[in-house]
């Protein structure tokens, strides 16, 4: 009878049991951690929020109160008149004309700038020789101050000595009096504003075009799409986020345009170039009607809010984010 020796099994020493932190202690630890995170968050955000509140929100509230008063900036304190300033403005045919001129200004400048900027971007994106230099030249007016641009174009528009006289005399016509004629003053300002802003739009569109996915373009070519079909059904939808961004920013910039009007026409002749921004300046700092100017500023604020909300709510539905 054989005996089989078996190796005794090794018994591992007992491991010490992990001590679990009691539930109340865990809750206290989490609360302390959250309080530290909130304190750090407040430490970084409160100074910024304070600056925004002081320099952005508080002036809006102060202007809203001032729009409910009548003050000539000389009297010791404004006189509260309620909504009289708003009623007076919205029932004044001259102010309604200002709103109409502002609408024409914004729609024309923004529409032509977007269309022209996209056309230039498509031209620059071809990569032909000299396209980089041309794009730099197209962008250069954007970095010039409004006063410098106005001075240049005042000389070009001069009916006696400017380039306008040379061009019109070449075809046997007299140069219009661009900045002193109620018929031509607003078109002159529109031309200058487009010339100044179209380069910025073109550069933004060019950056977006260069970032488009090449595989989508190649797929469209393989499907037999020609250039127009590719542009309409592929390029434009992919550029829609950029278009929305430019639409919002350019509308706000057009509403706030002031320097070109101040330097070239001063709101004239006969109020032909008095946009809402110039009306606010004229009422407040020339006529010394602080309440009326503040009411005009609040109307501009409401218009910008409405336009921006409409753009973000309805236009964004057609935006394709890739």
Into how many domains does the chain fold?
1
Give the mean pLDDT of the chain.
Answer: 85
More confident residue, 20 or 94: 94
Model pLDDT, residue 322: 59
Q: pTM for the whole thing? A: 0.82
Is the residue at 149 inside a domain? yes
What CATH number does the domain containing 291 carry?
1.10.3720.10
For 292-314, how does the pLDDT look when each residue is reduced to its tens digit (9 = 90+)? 999 999 999 999 999 888 887 77
**Where does the pLDDT of residue 115 fall: very low under 50, low under 70, confident under 90, or very high at 90 and above?**
very high
Phi then psi for 66, rounded to 5 degrees? -60, -30
User: What is the spatial distance between Cα 120 and Cα 132, in angstroms, rounded to a whole number?
Assistant: 12
Phi then psi for 79, rounded to 5 degrees? -105, 125
For 36-76, how does the pLDDT look when each residue is reduced to its tens digit (9 = 90+)? 888 888 888 888 888 888 888 898 899 999 999 999 888 88
Is the residue at 248 inside a domain? yes
Is the residue at 192 inside a domain? yes
**Where does the pLDDT of residue 227 fall: very low under 50, low under 70, confident under 90, or very high at 90 and above?**
confident
Mean pLDDT of 143-150: 89
**Range(s) of the domain holding residue 225:** 80-318
Residue count of the chain, please give it. Answer: 322
Is the residue at 16 inside a domain? no
Is the residue at 254 inside a domain? yes
Model pLDDT, residue 318: 62
Model pLDDT, residue 3: 45
């Amino acid at each position: 009878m054989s005996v089989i020796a078996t190796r005794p099994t090794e018994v591992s020493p007992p491991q010490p049991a992990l001590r679990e932190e009691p539930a109340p202690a865990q809750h206290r630890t989490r609360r302390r951690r959250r309080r530290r995170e909130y304190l750090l968050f407040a430490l970084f955000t409160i100074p910024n929020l304070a600056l925004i509140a002081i320099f952005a929100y508080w002036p809006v509230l102060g202007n809203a109160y001032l729009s409910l008063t009548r003050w000539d900036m000389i009297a010791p304190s404004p006189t509260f008149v309620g909504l009289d300033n708003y009623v007076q403005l919205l029932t004044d045919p001259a102010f309604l004309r200002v709103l109409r001129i502002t609408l024409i200004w914004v729609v024309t400048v923004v529409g032509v700038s977007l269309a022209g900027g996209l056309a230039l971007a498509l031209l620059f994106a071809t990569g032909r020789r000299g396209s980089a230099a041309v794009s730099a030249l197209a962008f250069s007016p954007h970095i010039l101050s409004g006063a410098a641009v106005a001075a240049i174009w005042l000389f070009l528009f001069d009916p006696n000595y400017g380039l306008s006289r040379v061009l019109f005399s070449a075809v046997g016509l007299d140069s219009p009096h661009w900045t002193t004629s109620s018929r031509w003053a607003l078109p002159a300002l529109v031309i200058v504003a487009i010339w100044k802003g179209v380069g910025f739009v073109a550069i933004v569109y060019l950056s977006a075009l260069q970032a488009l996915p090449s595989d989508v373009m190649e797929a469209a070519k393989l499907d037999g799409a020609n250039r127009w079909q590719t542009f309409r059904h592929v390029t434009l939808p992919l550029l829609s986020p950029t278009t929305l961004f430019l639409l919002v920013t350019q509308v706000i910039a057009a509403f706030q345009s002031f320097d070109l009007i101040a330097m070239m026409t001063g709101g004239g002749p006969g109020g032909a170039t008095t946009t809402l921004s110039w009306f606010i300046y004229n009422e407040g700092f020339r006529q010394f009607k602080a309440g009326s100017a503040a009411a005009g500023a609040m109307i501009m604020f409401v218009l910008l809010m409405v336009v921006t909300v409409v753009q973000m709510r309805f236009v964004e539905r057609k935006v394709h984010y890739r």
